[in-house]
Amino acid sequence: MILDAQHPLSSGLTADSRLIQAYQGTRPAVTPVWFMRQAGRSLPEYRELRVGTRMLDVCLDPALASEISLQPVRRHNVDAGIFFSDIVVPLKLVGVDVSIVAGKGPVLGKAVRTRADVDELTALDPALLDTALAPISAAVSLAVSQLGSTPLIGFAGAPFTLAAYLVEGGPSKDHIHARALMHVEPDAWAKLMAWTAEVTGRFLRAQVLAGASAAQLFDSWAGALSLADYAASVAPASAAAIAHVRDLTYTVPGAADGAEPAESVETWRNVPIVHFGVGTGELLKEMHNIGADVVGVDYRVPLDEANRRLGGAVPVQGNVDPALLAAPWPVLEAHVRDVLERGRTAPSHVLNLGHGVPPDTDPDVLTRLVNLVHDVSAAE
C-alpha cells in the first residue's frame, strides 16, 4: 500500500531526516539520537501534566498524548519523537480487562492460563480496532502536525511480550507460566500468539497511517527465551505483527545510474521498522530475520559485537547504559564516545539507550548528551 501523499515520508518532510537516512542504512553526516521513554517520568512538565490522571486515560486523550510526545523534542532537540502510549492500549481497546497500576505496571483482570482461557480471549475480534483506534490516530496526527521535519516513531509491544502479560496476569521476572503454556499447550500458544500479533500489528499500522515515519516493535521479555524457543514459537508471530507495516511504501526522487536529470526516476522505499528486545543478545540475528530493517541493541552487548552477530549489514540502534545517566559527566561522556565509536562498525547507527530513561534522570543530562552526540559525530 502506498502512503497518502500528505504523509511526512511521501511529502518529503521527513524522508531525508537524519533518523530516516540512518534507518534506511545510509550514514548521515551527524549521528541521530533519541531515547526510549524520553516522553515521560523524567520530565517535570510531564509530571505536572499527569497530576490527577490515570495512565490509560492519558493514552486515549489525543491532546494529552500528543503533547507528551512533543515535550522531549522541544526540551532535548532529539532527532525523533516517540509516540506516547502503552503497549497494552490495543488490548484495552479490543475488550481485555487491563489496567496500569502505579509502581507495578499492567495488571490483567484474569490471567490466560488454559486452552479455554485462550479460546475465550481470542473470541475478541481484532477488527474492532479499526474504529477503536481512532483516538490513537488522532493523537499521532496532532503530534505530527507540530513536529515538522522531525519524524515521529510509532511503537507497539511484540506478540510475546503481550502474551507474557496476558498469561502471567501482570509483570513477571521469569515468565514461567508463559513458557510453560508454550510447551504444554503448543496449539493454544500458537493461537494466542497469532491473536496478539494481529492486535499489536493493527495498533502499529494505525500509527504509521496517521503520520508516524518509522515503527518500532518492543519485545521487553524475549530475553527470557532460548534461541530455539524464540525461533520456533515467537519469531513467526513477530513477523506477522510487522507485516501490518511491512507493505506500507512511499517514493523519493532519484535518478538511474548515468541518467540525465530529465530521466530521473522514483525510488520505492518501505517505512523503516526497528526491532528491539531486552536481554536479547543471543537472539539478534533471529530478531532481524523477522523482517526488521534496524535492530535495537540493549546495553549488555557492545555495538561492534552486535554488528558482528548481525553479519555487518544491518543498521543498529543503541546502546548507552541507562545506569550511567546518573554517573559523573566525564564517565558518561567517555561511555557515549565509546558507543559512538563501536557504532561506526555498522552500516549506520542511531544512538539511543540500551533500555528506557530511568524516571529519576536529570533532564539536563539528556540535553547535554544529545549535544555531545551531535558535536562528536559532526566532527568525525
Local confidence pLDDT in tens for the 380 residues of the chain: 999 999 999 999 999 999 999 999 999 999 999 999 999 999 999 999 999 999 999 999 999 999 999 999 999 999 999 999 999 999 999 999 999 998 889 999 999 999 999 999 999 999 999 999 999 999 999 999 999 999 999 999 999 999 999 999 999 989 999 999 999 999 999 999 999 999 999 999 999 999 999 999 999 999 999 999 999 999 999 999 999 999 999 998 764 444 455 455 778 999 999 999 999 999 999 999 999 999 999 999 999 999 999 999 999 999 999 999 999 999 999 999 999 999 999 999 999 999 999 999 999 999 999 999 999 998 87
355 marked as part of a ligand binding site: yes
Among residues 345, 318, 212, 340, the alpha carbon closest in space to that of 272 is found at 212
Which residue, chain included where needed, has cell 540525465? Answer: 260
Cell numbers at residue 341, please?
565509536
37 marked as part of a ligand binding site: yes
d(CA 356, CA 266) in angstroms, rounded, equals: 37
**Which burial class, exposed, middle or buried, applies to 249 when counting CB atoms under 10 A from its CB (0-12, 13-18, 19+)?**
middle
| Helix or strand run (H / E) with residue 141 | helix 134-147
39 marked as part of a ligand binding site: yes
165 marked as part of a ligand binding site: yes
Active-site position among 23, 46, 165, 250: 165
338 marked as part of a ligand binding site: no
Return the CATH class of domain 18-379. Answer: alpha beta
Among residues 356, 344, 351, 352, the alpha carbon closest in space to that of 278 is found at 356
**Which burial class, exposed, middle or buried, applies to 265 when counting CB atoms under 10 A from its CB (0-12, 13-18, 19+)?**
exposed
| Model confidence pLDDT, tens digit, residues 95-150 | 999 999 988 899 999 999 999 999 999 999 999 999 999 999 999 999 999 999 99
Which residue, chain included where needed, has cell 514461567? Answer: 176
Active-site position among 18, 37, 205, 342: 37
- The residues near 199 (Cβ < 8 Å, ≥ 6 apart) are 90, 91, 94, 126, 129, 162
Q: In the annotation, is 309 catalytic?
A: no
Q: Are 133 and 60 in contact (CB under 8 A)?
A: no
H-type alpha helices, 30-77: 44-49, 55-59, 62-76
∠310-312-315 over CA atoms, to 5°? Answer: 80
Q: Are 59 and 93 in contact (CB under 8 A)?
A: no
Active-site position among 41, 269, 300, 344: 41
Q: In the annotation, is 41 catalytic?
A: yes
Pairing label, strands 214-219, 152-157: parallel
213 marked as part of a ligand binding site: no
Entry field: residues in the chain: 380
Pairing label, strands 294-296, 316-320: parallel
CB atoms within 10 A of CB 225: 26
Phi, psi of 364 (to 5 degrees): -65, -30
Active-site position among 18, 75, 79, 86: 86
Classified as helix, coil or strand, 107 is strand
Active-site position among 50, 308, 344, 368: 50
Q: In the annotation, is 37 catalytic?
A: yes
d(CA 107, CA 101) in angstroms, rounded, equals: 7
